Structure 1
Amino acid sequence: MKKIFKLFSFAFFIAIFYLGFTTYPKLDLISGFSAKSVASGHFIDKRSQELIEKGDNDIDMIDLATNTINENGKFATASVYGLKGRKAIYREGLGATLIDDDFDVTKPYLVPKRTKLNNDLPFPYGNKEQKDTVFENVDYAKLNSAVTNAFDVEGKKDKRTRSLLVIYKDKIIAEKYDTGFGKDSKILGWSITKSITSAMFGILEKQGKYDIYKPAPIKEWANDERKNITTNDLLHMNSGLEWEENYSTICDATKMLFQAVDMSRSQLEKPAAFKPNTHWNYSSGTTNLLSGILRQQFKTHQEYLDFWYSALIDRIGMNSMVIETDMAGNYVGSSYGWATTRDWSKFGLLYLHKGNWNGEQILDESWVKYSAKPTDTSDGQYGAQFWLNAGGRFPDVPREMYFCSGFQGQMVAIFPSLDLVIVRMGLKEDPEFDFNGMLSGIIGSLKK
């Protein structure tokens, strides 16, 4: 009996040691993700803690965190078995920010100036409901079947679509939401936000204020091999800089999003692993570096904060959108954009219409073409902060389709020749969720 007890004790000790060795270093990231998710979901979208924990935080290991919301202080905290507590604060206009112990919560801060779209036009060019429109070439039974099939049946959790919106010739022809969500629900786009960041450079270029083909304006690179990296290389994830993006473990991306004070520097400080334009490597750090470069283009922090909204977001009526900032005041252009499904679709429509918004040219048509042109080394997968189907990722979907894509299967898909935009927001991504089937099913409802 003593021998068995000793063996059991030894096995228990080994198990505890293994869990401590493998899991403890992750606790800071787990509690950080959880606190940030709870603060953002609750204060931006008014979700209950229960809905956030059952939905957004229903991820392996993230569900170990215990969360608390402080309504009066407008913050959320999280820890794992009382260890590695983290805090995320909410500030109106800036969203939620995950902070460290050195962050001064009493320090005054700037917020972007917003302009709300105010006209009598129906969606998408105004906020009024559109008149019902029936297209003779749309098989509505087939369309509704494809849309319904994208959602879980009661009791299941294998598709986890939260919203699906189909816009054909500027008209909503299908719109469906999961329980607890609706047309006014703000949903995190994750890396869809990268495409917003790209658009900001397109606007600066249209204004004649920036040349993406010149070396990136980063003084730390001036005297080493990184000096030849251009903004064009960065936009195409083709800089050759070292970076690891693997959300299942501790990596450059997770350390940046859940530990960095200034996310714009996470990629900046990495060495070159390859020569520019020779090796494609997806990097959220690159996009946040681009956000930092954008900030350099303005004399004041206020101008930088205002620019994203005045030049693009509010200009096309994406009034629900909030792009959250890091502790240093940079927009987290890689990951932290929130908007309603309808407002996400407006961004897709801007690109569908070659940069034109109801008669006003926001982006040059050449920039839209540039965004959807394959990166040299991506095998047709990627453009300038947009994903592409040029390489046939979705075999039953037109190769011309390009799309904004985010963690857990967020998608704004643009079909130029079909005059079609499809937005899907959810919690499952390819291949767990059948995007090829969903997209081809919807397209198949449009009769030729």
Structure 2
Amino acid sequence: MKLFKRVFLIALVILVVVAYFNYPKLNIISGYASKNMASTVFLTDRSPESVTLNDNDVPLIKLADVEVDASKKQATASVFGLMERKSICRDGLGCVLVNDKYDANTVIPKPHRTTLKNDLPFPYGNKGTKDTTFANIDYQRLDKAVEDAFANPESQKTRTVLVTYKNQIIAEKYIKGFHKDTPVLGWSMTKSILGTLFGILEYQGKIDLDEPAPVPAWQNDDRQDITLNHLLRMQSGLAWDEDYTSISDVTKMLFLDSDMTLAQASNEAVAPPTKVWNYSSGTSNLLSGILRKQFKTHHEYIDFPYVALIDKIGMHSMLIETDMEGNFVASSYGWATTRDWAKFGLLHLNKGIWKGEQLFDQKWIDYITLPTAHSDGDYGAHFWLNAGGKYPDVPKDMYSLNGYQGQRVFIIPSKNLVVVRTGLAEEPEFDINGFLRDVIKSIL
């Protein structure tokens, strides 16, 4: 009996110590679980049970209990009854994790959306796909490459794959519960959407990437020389901790901040611009705030991505969620169907030309695919690269949108390919090099 009491006491002490040191993390855990549940249920029409068993079934996050209120379009999560966090959904703006500063009476403008009205098939319309057969494609080999991407569902966790060649879909596959009209969270693929908006503004002559970033707090210290170019290349020299396993800059921003555009702006410089490369979601949201300053009204800012890019190329399923203050969370929260993510890739494959209209300068592709110093050839300007040969069996001209858990849009100009893959696992569980190698080999 004494031994049992002693063991119990030791276990209790360990539990208390673990809880004490991890208590602040509960805010992040319940915040993630709440936000992910609300957005996935109310933006994709998937069931709470599916989200619990799949999307939220990751270490620590699965400790959270989440309740969904369909009538109010909100989700509330807590961990062992502690650190309750709520996410609410706003029409046209997606869902947002709220805190004590949330005022339900605050009005955030809803974006004006337009729909293409034509009878064209993908990609220039939404009337199905063109029944095209290319003589130089080994379709049997291509189908096997796609099937292999789904072969081990417990480890690979692939959800959707789409392959286009010369603007036409040549392969497409979805797991049960997903289809061509299911929006998928792109996570950091959203950064490339944001980067492209700056390319559009530059083409319109409204910004100069080499001008100092318009951040008032930087104008009288060693951050005054940071330009938009430095920010787009993640080489500002600003301190930033992109660690999702701890209470870090990025987790505090995404799960605690009301205004996510401010997190990076307040950090000090640890090096002069161009001297280091440091991937930072805070930088993307800072750029979102800078984007907002380009417009006279909040509504013009909210409309701009849809008017200038998203709806213009028929990505009607896309929605970029906003924070509590109505800023686009351009680091992480863009949703679109697999076909619409592919359209964005095709816009770049075609060097900014869509149905004869030039949306951004063709030289913009040269800019975003120019390797950034100190990135080992892996990063350009809000796009990832293969210039350093990370994927040895894939052409070095390949560049991509990359998101958490293996969300990817691969653009391979030399092969006329755009390949989309979404899921819940990335390398090494999902072999990107092998998958792309096998797809490429099917093009004879």
In structure 2, C-alpha distance between the alignment counterparts of 1:217 and 1:377, rounded to whole Å: 25
Pick one of 368, 371, 374 that aligns with 2:371. Answer: 374
One-letter code of the match for 2:421? R
Tell me the CA shift for residue 379 of structure 1.
1.1
Residue 430 of structure 1: aligned partner: 427
Q: What is the CA distance between 1:358 and its match in structure 2?
A: 1.6
Matched AA of 1:45: T
Aligned to 2:385: 388
Instruction: Determine which of 399, 402, 419 is the counterpart of 1:402.
Output: 399
Aligned residues: 444
Amino acid at match of 2:416: D
Q: Which residue of 1 aligns with 2:61?
A: 62
2:125 maps to a residue whose letter is G
Q: Tell me, in whole angstroms, the C-alpha distance in 1 between the residues paired with 2:185 and 2:108.
A: 23
Indicate whether 1:420 and 2:417 are aligned: yes
Q: Deviations over 1:94-138 (max 9, x none)?
A: 000100122011333211111111111110000011231111111
1:343 is paired with a residue whose SS is helix
Match of residue 265 from structure 1: 262
Residue 173 of structure 2: SS of its match in structure 1? strand
The C-alpha deviation readout for 1:125-160, integer Å capped at 9, x for no partner, is 00011231111111111100010010145xx41010
Give secondary structure in 1 for the equivalent of 2:377.
coil
- Please tell me the residue identity of whatever aligns with 1:423: V
In 2, distance between residues paired with 1:131 and 1:370?
32
Quote the Cα distance in structure 1 between the aligned partners of 2:39 and 2:297.
27
Q: Which residue of 2 aligns with 1:82?
A: 81
2:206 alignment counterpart: 209
Q: Which amino acid aligns with 1:56?
A: D
| 1:19 aligned onto 2:18 | yes
1:399-427 Cα shifts (integer Å, max 9, x gaps): 11000000000000001111110000110
Report the Cα distance in structure 1 between the residues aligned to 2:356 and 2:297, rounded to whole angstroms.
31
Say what the alpha-carbon RMSD is for the aligned residues: 1.0
Counterpart residue number, 2:324? 327
Q: Give the C-alpha shift of residue 63 in structure 1.
A: 0.5
SS at match of 2:401: strand
Instruction: Write out aligned runs for 1:231-310 (5 A).
Output: 231-310=228-307
What is the CA–CA distance in structure 1 between the aligned matches of 2:291 and 2:202, rounded to whole Å?
12
Q: Residue 191 of structure 2 aligns with which residue?
A: 194
The one-character-per-residue Cα deviations of 1:224-255 (angstroms, maximum 9, x if unpaired) are 00000001000000000000001122211111
The share of aligned pairs that are identical, in percent, is 55
Task: Please list every run of at least 4 consecutive aligned residues from structure 1 whose deviation after the TM superposition is greater than 3 angstroms.
Answer: none
Do the aligned partners of 2:190 and 2:332 also contact (CA within 8 Å) in 1? yes
Q: Distance in 1 between matches of 2:346 and 2:130?
A: 18
Amino acid at match of 1:176: K
Residues 395 and 414 in structure 2, CA contact (< 8 A), matched pair in contact too? no
Superposition pairs for residues 150-169 of structure 1, below 5 Å?
150-153=149-152, 156-169=153-166
User: Could you list the runs of 5+ residues in structure 1 that have no partner in the other structure?
Assistant: none
Q: Secondary structure at the match of 1:280?
A: coil
The residue identity in structure 1 corresponding to 2:436 is: L
Query: Any idea what SS the aligned residue of 1:173 has?
Result: strand
What is the match of residue 93 of structure 2? 94
Q: CA deviation at 1:430?
A: 1.6
* In structure 2, C-alpha distance between the alignment counterparts of 1:219 and 1:106, rounded to whole Å: 29
Whether 2:127 is the aligned partner of 1:128: answer yes
**8 Å CA contact 1:152, 1:158 repeated in 2:** no
CA–CA separation in structure 2 for the residues paired with 1:159 and 1:31: 26
Partner Cα distance (1:6, 1:72) in 2:
48
- Structure 1 residue 11, shift from structure 2 partner: 1.6
Contact 1:348 1:421 in 2 (8 A): yes
Map Cα deviations across residues 30-71 of structure 1 (whole Å, 9 max, x no partner). Answer: 110011011100110001001111111011110111111111
Q: Is the 8 A contact 2:158 2:425 kept in 1?
A: yes
In the alignment, the residues of structure 1 paired with residue 347 and residue 8 of structure 2 have an alpha-carbon distance, to the nearest angstrom, of 64
> 1:237 aligns to what SS in structure 2?
coil
Q: Is the 8 A contact 1:246 1:253 kept in 2?
A: yes
Deviations 1:313-368 (A, max 9, x none): 00110000000000111000000000000000010000000111121101100111
What is the TM-score of this pair, normalised by structure 1? 0.98
Secondary structure of the corresponding residue to residue 76 of structure 1: strand
Structure 1 residue 172: Cα displacement: 0.5
Shift of residue 397, structure 1, vs aligned partner? 0.7
Q: Give CA-to-partner distance per residue, 1:259-286, whole Å, 9 cap, x none.
A: 1110000000000011100100000000
- How far apart, in 2, do the equivalents of 1:320 and 1:117 lie? 12
1 CA distance for matches of 2:247 and 2:174?
Answer: 34
**Residue aligning to 2:31:** 32
| Match for residue 221 of structure 1 among 210, 218, 221 | 218
Structure 1 contact 187–340 (Cα < 8 Å) conserved: yes
CA deviation digits over 1:187-234, x for unaligned, max 9? 000000000000010011011000010110110001100000001000
Cα distance between partner residues in 1 of 2:84 and 2:402: 31
| Cα distance in structure 1, aligned partners of 2:401 and 2:183 | 17
* 1:6 Cα deviation after fit: 4.8
Counterpart check, 1:43 vs 2:42: yes
Q: Which runs of 5+ in 2 are unaligned?
A: none
The worse-fitting range, judged by mean Cα deviation, of 415-424 and 4-13 is 4-13
Please give the alpha-carbon distance, in whole angstroms, between the structure 2 residues aligned to 1:182 and 1:37.
20
